[in-house]
Amino acid sequence: MAEEDLFIETPFEPKAIIPRASVIKRSTVTTKLIKACNNLTLVKPLGKGKFPVFMARCNEQGRSYAMKLFVKDDQQQVDKYFENEVKFSSLSHPNILKIIHHEQNRKIKLQNFLGKASIILSELAPYGDFFNFVLKNKKHITEKLARTFFRQLIEGLEYLHKHNIAHLDIKLENLLIGENFILKIADFDLATFTNDRDFGKGTKFYRAPEIIQNKCKDGAAADIYSAGVVLFTLLSKGVIPHAENSLYKGIDFFNLLNNDNPEFWRKHCEVQGQSSSVFSKNFRELFNGMLKLDPEQRFTVQDVKNSEWYNEEVLTMEEVKEWFQEFFQQ
C-alpha cells in the first residue's frame, strides 16, 4: 500500500462526539500490530486543542484509537511538541493515557489537507475530557464523585513524580475519562523530566504563580498547584478559584487566597450562591495546602494523600458506572 493511502479520507458523520462504551474494545495491541494495520479510517474529530485529534478505526483489527496529528511546518521540520511527547511513550499506569504507536514523516490526506505529519496513536478515552464533563453534568457532580476522580488524578501524578516527570499542563481538558470510567492524564507535549529545569508556560488559570513568573524550580510542586485548581473547579461545578492577573466578578480572589483566606472562602460562597457548608473544613485545608504561594511550603503528593478530605468516602467503580448511566450527558 502506498504511504499516502494509509489514512482514508472519510466524511465525518453528525453523530455525538462520544461513542457508546460498549463498542470500544480494550486496547492490548503492540506497536508491531499497529504497524501491520494498513487501513486506518478517520471516523470523527475528538478534540479542539492546539493539535487535531481524531478517532481512527483499524479495519483489520476492528479497534478504535485516538490519533493526534502534528502537521509539519513549511520547512518540513518535525514538531517539537511531538518530539517531546513521545519521550514519555513508555509510561504505563492505569491513570495515564497509553501511547500505542508514534510515527514521523507520514503523508496524510485529510479533507482539504495533503501533506506530512507526525502521528501519535493512543488508547481511546470514550467519555471525552473533564472540561466537557463539568460543562454538561455540573449540577450532578457530588463531593464523593469529585473525590473519586481526584484520587485517580493524584495516583497518576504520584507515578509521574516518582519517575521524576512533571506534566506541567494539568487542566480539565487534559484529563480524559477512559474505559470503565477511569481518569486518564493525557497530552504530555509540555511535560519534562524534573532535572531538566526546562519548564513551559502551562495554561492560564491553572498554572502555578512561579510558572507565570518564569521562576519555577520544582515542576512537581507546579503540578500540585494545578491539580488543586482542578479539584476546586470540580467541586464548584465549573467555577475557577481565581482569575490570573485579573478580577473575577469584581473580586481579586488570588489576593484574598494568599492574604485574607477566610474572606476568600466567604466571597466564593457568595458569588456561587452556596452556603458555607459546601466547602468543608477538611476541603479548605487541603486546597489551601495545594495552592500555597511558596512552592517549598506547598503540599506534596504524600501530603495530599495524608489529608483528611482525601481519605473520606469515595464511590465504588460500580457506583461510578451507575452515575454515568443515570446522568452523563442527559
Segment 224-248 mean pLDDT? 93
The residue-averaged pLDDT of 169-198 equals 90
* Average of per-residue pLDDT values in the chain: 83
- Enumerate the active-site residues: 169
Q: What domains lie within the chain, and their CATH numbers? A: 3-122 (3.30.200.20), 130-327 (1.10.510.10)
Cβ–Cβ < 8 Å for 223, 168: yes
Question: 96 or 100, which is more confident?
Answer: 96
pTM score = 0.85
Cell of 52: 487535531
Q: Which residue has the higher pLDDT, 59 or 154?
A: 154
In sign, the C-alpha dihedral spanning 240, 242, 243, 246 is: positive
Q: Give the model's pLDDT for residue 14.
A: 26
Of these ranges, 29-38, 84-93, 239-248, 294-303, the one predicted with the greatest mean pLDDT is 294-303
Is a pLDDT exceeding 60 seen at residue 27? no
pLDDT greater at residue 285 or residue 135: 285
Q: Residue 217 above 80 pLDDT? A: yes
Q: Do 270 and 258 meet the contact criterion of CB atoms below 8 Å apart?
A: no
How far CA 23 is from CA of 63, 124, 249, 317, in Å, comes to 9, 11, 44, 20
Q: Average pLDDT of 30-35?
A: 41
pLDDT above 80: residue 227? yes
Question: How does 231-245 read in b/e, with b if 16+ C-beta sit within 10 Å?
Answer: bbbbbbbebbbbeee
Q: Is the pLDDT of residue 163 over 80?
A: yes
- Residue whose entry in the numeric block shows the C-alpha cell 457568595: 270
- Structure confidence at residue 328 as a pLDDT band (50, 70, 90): confident
pLDDT at position 19 is: 26
Residue 21 has a pLDDT of 26
For residue 172, pLDDT beyond 50: yes
Task: Give the pLDDT score at 18.
Answer: 24
Kindly tell me if the per-residue pLDDT of 281 is higher than 80: yes
In this predicted structure, what is the pLDDT of residue 30? 37
pLDDT value, residue 73? 60
pLDDT in tens, 132-159: 999 999 889 999 999 999 999 999 999 9
Residue 63's pLDDT is 84
Of the listed ranges 52-61, 106-115, 257-266, the least confidently predicted one is 106-115
Q: What average pLDDT does range 84-105 have in this prediction?
A: 91
Least confident piece of the model among 172-186, 199-213, 214-228, 290-304: 199-213
- The answer to whether residue 130 scores a pLDDT higher than 90 is yes
Q: CA 8, CA 173: separation in Å to the nearest integer?
A: 28
Q: How far is the C-alpha of 295 from the C-alpha of 214, rounded, in Å?
A: 13
pLDDT number for residue 74: 56
Provide the pLDDT confidence category of residue 116 given band limits of 50, 70 and 90: confident
- Residue that wins the pLDDT comparison between 311 and 115: 311
Residue 221 confidence (pLDDT) above 50: yes
The per-residue pLDDT for 289 is 98
Contact, 287 vs 202, CB < 8 A?
Answer: no
